[in-house]
Amino acid sequence: MIKFYKNALLATIACFFMLVLLNFTAAAQQKQFTPGQLWPDDKGVHINAHGGGLLYQKGIYYWFGEHKIAGGAGNRAMVGVHCYSSKDLYNWKDEGIALAVSPDTTNDIAKGCILERPKVVYNKKIKKYVMWFHLELLGQSYKAARAGVAISDKVTGPYTFIRSYRPNPGFMPYYPTGTSDADMVNCEHPKNKSDGFFCRDVHGGQMARDMNVFVDDDGKAYHIFSAEENFTLDIAEMNDTYTGHTGKFARVYAGHQTEAPAIFKHNGIYYLIGSGTTGWAPNPARWFSAKSIYGPWTYRGNPCVGKDAEITFGGQSTYVLPVAGKKDTFIFMADKWTPKDAIDGRYIWLPITFKGDNIEISWFDNWDLSVFDKTTK
């Protein structure tokens, strides 16, 4: 009997120490990025914010992304948009669901719809946080191709869904001065497939799939999205509340099928990184540069170098983060999708290196922000 009590006591003590250890592991401070590995949040749970983007506010970074569930069903929006916060970019606190899908099957953001690549910006005029995302209506696969918008008074939410639609109905593209007639779309005689899709959609608005939002130095915001059955990227001016489009937009790299756009600005030059269109499978990234947001944009090739550069190290771009207060410091953020078990998707964050106005992205098994002190020339 005494032996039984002794064993039970020992087992209880062992359990206690294991719990303490687990708790300690969950809260262990991370000091580096480990691309492609599990990335535990403050509770020790792998971060669930896929196709994400960041917003920096008063010393804190907020990471918004798609909350995925296990299995193939996780590729649809069963929960909503998840938010995390961090002061150092390595350690992330779970802030919960910022935008929840609706239980009402007739709602645009009904549970089971496709809600991808959420991005949040702050609008000073209305003093609200504005979230944009790619929305596909319940049961319609990728047919609807809409942009969705939600707003909140508080950065972490809850966000209120406003509407979803196809941008810029009735508008023709804006062309930089000097564009020749041959390079302009002519809906009486569309010259190729992408022009044909563009003209088909003029009346109802352009398709809006993979997307991002970029706020320029002058406070103007732009929505960039895959349009025309993904054949072209549109860069569209947003109104002064960031909750709608003005009708002014440029078509970028028409006819080449680009997804996963991410824009940033460095030394007055605009940079755009995107991918090809191969579903969840990785393909070579591509980058472009321009002196004006409306172009002309120059195709610059694949920014990735080294092993697996031709598959973007297994990832697909989602955002480029300018690190606050650090000159020349930009982080390329990508998703390593795992469509069979969506929740297990990984994050690939890598430093961007500038060589003049050229950019390069190399693989690191692990790294920290001090690499920027060495790599930028």
Rounded distance between C-alpha atoms, residue 31 and residue 51, angstroms = 23
Query: Is 51 among the residues that bind ligand DGJ (CB under 6 A)?
Result: yes
Rounded distance between C-alpha atoms, residue 185 and residue 57, angstroms = 40
Q: 3-state class of 362 per DSSP?
A: strand
Query: Is 279 among the residues that bind ligand DGJ (CB under 6 A)?
Result: yes
Rounded distance between C-alpha atoms, residue 227 and residue 224, angstroms = 9
Report the Cα 160 to chain-centroid distance in Å.
20
- What would the x/- binding string for ligand DGJ be over residues 117 to 136, using CB under 6 A? x-------------------
Query: Is 116 among the residues that bind ligand DGJ (CB under 6 A)?
Result: yes
Complex with ligand DGJ: residue 71 or 219, whichever CB lies closer:
71
In the bound complex, what is the minimum distance in angstroms from residue 170's beta carbon to ligand DGJ?
Answer: 27
User: Closest-CB residue for ligand DGJ?
Assistant: 279
Complex with ligand DGJ: residue 171 or 280, whichever CB lies closer:
280
Degrees, nearest 5: CA angle 23-27-31: 145
**Phi first, then psi: what are they for 330, rounded to 5°?**
-130, 135
Nearest to 273 by CA among 199, 359, 144, 209: 359
Residue 138 makes CB contacts below 8 A (sequence gap 6+) with 105, 110, 111, 112, 113
- Residue choice 56, 90, 122, 280 for contact with ligand DGJ (CB under 6 A): 280
Rounded distance between C-alpha atoms, residue 33 and residue 132, angstroms = 27
- What would the x/- binding string for ligand DGJ be over residues 154 to 193, using CB under 6 A? ----------------------------------------
Query: Is 282 among the residues that bind ligand DGJ (CB under 6 A)?
Result: no
Degrees, nearest 5: CA angle 119-156-266: 40
Complex with ligand DGJ: residue 123 or 316, whichever CB lies closer:
316
Query: Is 108 among the residues that bind ligand DGJ (CB under 6 A)?
Result: no
Asked if 264 contacts 214 with a C-beta cutoff of 8 angstroms, the reply is yes
In the bound complex, what is the minimum distance in angstroms from residue 375's beta carbon to ligand DGJ?
Answer: 28
In the bound complex, what is the minimum distance in angstroms from residue 108's beta carbon to ligand DGJ?
Answer: 17
Size of the site for ligand DGJ (CB under 6 A): 9
Please name the residue ranges forming H helices in the chain: 2-27, 193-201, 371-375
In the bound complex, what is the minimum distance in angstroms from residue 149's beta carbon to ligand DGJ?
Answer: 18
- What would the x/- binding string for ligand DGJ be over residues 306 to 345, using CB under 6 A? ----------x-----------------------------
Cα 239 to Cα 53, 168, 244, 322: the distances in Å are: 21, 12, 6, 23
Pair of tokens at residue 167: 């941008």
Complex with ligand DGJ: residue 72 or 301, whichever CB lies closer:
72
Complex with ligand DGJ: residue 296 or 339, whichever CB lies closer:
339
Complex with ligand DGJ: residue 76 or 245, whichever CB lies closer:
76
Per CB under 6 A, residues contacting ligand DGJ are 51, 116-117, 210, 259-260, 279-280, 316
